[in-house]
Structure 1
């Protein structure tokens, strides 16, 4: 088996960790071994064949941002996968696609030498010399000659043997898939629970009660927060962002900005996603520590799909600075909007004053970030959180 097929086979079975490097070769759970520098059948868009070492390292670090992955590969002196190859290569290795035009058929590997008790060509008797007047020997494609060769062949594997060979069974694939599905369902349930718990804390409501296992009951009963004739409904609070790319904060980069305190331009995030479909919403969490969630919010960019009860949950909006952003909103004007919903306008600190001329007429908090100094992003994100929480607390006493 060639290195690419073996690697794809192990990844499909969830056994990437069984590929171990020993010296200058990779050992595949005792089934195969290949040199680390062996070229695979996958050709990059730049024309070179990726080595086995490159593909194994990429599979183990593809979750990293591409810039971080390149830096990590460079430090370990491992040739890196290029950005254009990143998504199609990952889709092929993970089995999301059945084939790829980038895969080239390589010459078959030599068959292992036969054992001592197997047939060897030297064991055949030599044919007697042929007189010059006799016709020539039959060509190699003669049916009788081919039949003689096939009679001496010993098949290494057939379809039955492939299904029954050691360390390969479909039950392990099924159980691994089931575990992943259960984990996704558990995380979804935890997200809903985090949102309800955070809502109850922010509203000053009953904090729920412990269940028999010592955990937190996921169905607290928060008090309604009245906001001058309106109210924040039960459930996870909603933050709205513009869908237009003219604004700095969109649904593509809001999670990284608020959770990690890092601003990444939306177009860069779109490229990193490999053209994946835009999510309907993302969940953003404010954390007190790595394991303790203080608050959870839904971030959406399509106000037109919100139901009346959904508008009761809207607590904040990132503004574009254009009046048409609020078209068809269930409010009289921007004065009413920003009395009931806190507004944020994120801008680069060296932008002209004219860019925020309209926004300065609204009751909106202006958040400035640097174009180049990414270490300052965290302070900007914390300012958003602090003002949002202050707003939520002030309205809870209204």
Structure 2
């Protein structure tokens, strides 16, 4: 009799207590003895054959939970029965299954017989014709063990996914804020290092407390091309159809953010300012210059025109009516001109201003993060122009 059949027969008869280990052998009463390490005909789902030692230990401890059973085998140094093999192995050893695909006898299975005093117990033989009629699906279902159903899979105990979502959202917002601040600091540093000079070097420095220099300067008229006494002036159109007006100029030049004029006008409840002061900010604690922004050229006095350094053009001839200049050439030689447009607008709209000596500044209709670069371009060109006038 082979070891597996002997163990099965002993299990069915309820005589497991007769199996005794002695000197590297298992003795089945006075009938049979087999080496503990002998491989049986039962093959695991991993492909290896279970040894008699593994099967004897399992059949005597199968009542343990699988985790406890594994810990026990590890402590004893005995190979364990895999979880998928537990149920079909018990079913077979207790005789509730006549056979299983896991049993695979070798052509000449060796017999280990000692002290035989009784007749051989026949090895279970499965008739080939009957074997061909086996319902394999029934056999598979017989060894299946449901671990989770649909409901239990959807259940997540002690898990609050709302808090997970909130934490993830906060991390993403913090990352975007950090990246935005890093870009801002990098741009400010580059501009400070390579594009701008100190306020004193340009002759346009202003007091730390008031934001302007109260020291009187000699009055300069347009005839000499230098800037006149007082804070420099930037002119913007009063018409709503232009992108930059007295309403939204401060946010664009100081913060690098474009807000449509109609939106800003509603926020200000229609309160139209006569003058707006804007400052070029290099960092949080330093202001290098300040400008007055106005949109009523007709209100300027003769000496005020000496302080006009820039104009945002509408692209219409009538914008320059009654200006104290003879033509466009003289205007844009003494005043730097800017024309703002959306980058995807038709070039036809800029056809007129292309004939003038003005700088075209393009911004996106939707990508507000690009506004800062456009604002910096205005400041770069404006300060280069002011510096050239101051030293001329």
Question: Which TM-score tier does this pair reach, normalised by the shorter chain?
Answer: 0.3 to 0.5
TM-score, length-scaled by structure 1: 0.46
TM-score, length-scaled by structure 2: 0.47
